[in-house]
Amino acid sequence: MAGRPLVSSPSRRPARPAPPELPGVVWMRAALREAEKGAAAGEVPVGAVVVSPEGKILARAHNRPVTANDPTAHAEILVLRGAARRTGNYRLTGCRLVVTLEPCPMCAGAAVVARVAEIIYGAPDPKGGAVSTLYRIASDPRLNHRAVVTPGVLAEECGGLLASFFRSRRSAPRV
C-alpha cells in the first residue's frame, strides 16, 4: 500500500486501560484509610484489615491505645478481634492480616494464635518489628503455627504517613 506508513503512530493506538491493582495493594489502601482515621484521632497512624480466604475484607481497625486507655489496643489486635467476632471463630484460618506497619511482638503473637495464613505489611519497624526486622515470630518453627510474611506493600506511603505524623508532633508546641 503505497503512501501509508508501515508503523502506526503512537497517537492512533488505542489507550490501554490501567492494569488492575494487585489484591495486596487494594487491601493495603484500605488499611491506610484506617491509619488516617487513627491519625485524625491523635493516635499513631497504624491501620489494619483482615481479609477472608475469598478476598473480602472482614474487619477494619486503627490504633486506639490512647483513646481507649488500653496498651493492647493496637490496630492488629482490634482487627483480629473484629474478624473473630464476624466469623464466630477465633481461628482465622486462611485469612490475611494486612497492616501498615510491621507488627510488634504482641501483635505478631496474636496473629500466630489466630492462625492467619499471611501477614502483609507496609513499612518496616526498625525499633519493634517482630515478623521480619528484629524478630521472626510468624515464621518461627518452634511455634505451632506459621504465617507467610509479605513485607513492603506500599511501604513508602505507609512510612510517609508515619513520618508525617511524628514530624507534626515534634513541631507542635508543647502544652
> C-alpha dihedral over 154, 157, 158, 159, to 10 degrees?
120
Give me the DSSP letters along 102-117: ---HHHHHHHHHHT-S
Neighbours of 79 (CB within 10 A): 28
Contact between 65 and 75 (Cβ < 8 Å): no
Q: Which residue among 54, 76, 102, 157 is the active-site one?
A: 76
Strand (E) positions, 18-113? Answer: 47-51, 57-62, 96-101
Cα separation, 24 vs 100, in Å, equals 11
76 is catalytic: yes
Task: Point out the residues that are catalytic.
Answer: 76
